[in-house]
Amino acid sequence: DQQVKQNSPSLSVQEGRISILNCDYTNSMFDYFLWYKKYPAEGPTFLISISSIKDKNEDGRFTVFLNKSAKHLSLHIVPSQPGDSAVYFCAARPFGAGSYQLTFGKGTKLSVIP
């Protein structure tokens, strides 16, 4: 049973436009959400995160939105750049016991076309 779902395996966006990557979760114990970016042959690198007490967090071109009632979050990249082409993983961690353990989605491969 997948607790973190990224239903779009891939996404293509024109350079300069907005990229929107979606993520859904099922576990109500999750209270902290993260996005990781992964280039081929490299490990995932932390991009941005959001606590369940917020509904938006912004860092430069990257904004994460959280809708707790819908158990849905999204990552917006504006404007998209060719260097953003990578696999993006949504991840979640629970509060309390086991808060060190991340549960990842399967990832979305973003291609930004010049």
Partner 1 sequence: GAGVSQTPSNKVTEKGKYVELRCDPISGHTALYWYRQSLGQGPEFLIYFQGTGAADDSGLPNDRFFAVRPEGSVSTLKIQRTERGDSAVYLCASSETTAGELFFGEGSRLTVL
Task: Out of 8, 71, 102, 111, name the contact with partner 1 by CB under 8 A.
Answer: 102
Q: By CB under 8 A, tell whether 98 contacts partner 1.
A: yes
Residue from 56, 73, 69 nearest 7 by CA = 73
74, 20 contact by CB (below 8 A): yes
Peptide bond before residue 9 is cis, with ω within 30 degrees of 0: no
Q: In the complex, what is the shortest distance from the CB of residue 17 to partner 1, in angstroms, rounded to a whole number?
A: 26
Q: By CB under 8 A, tell whether 82 contacts partner 1.
A: no
Q: By CB under 8 A, tell whether 96 contacts partner 1.
A: no
User: Hey, how many other C-beta atoms are within 10 angstroms of the C-beta on 49?
Assistant: 16
Q: By CB under 8 A, tell whether 3 contacts partner 1.
A: no
Number of residues that bind partner 1 (CB under 8 A): 22
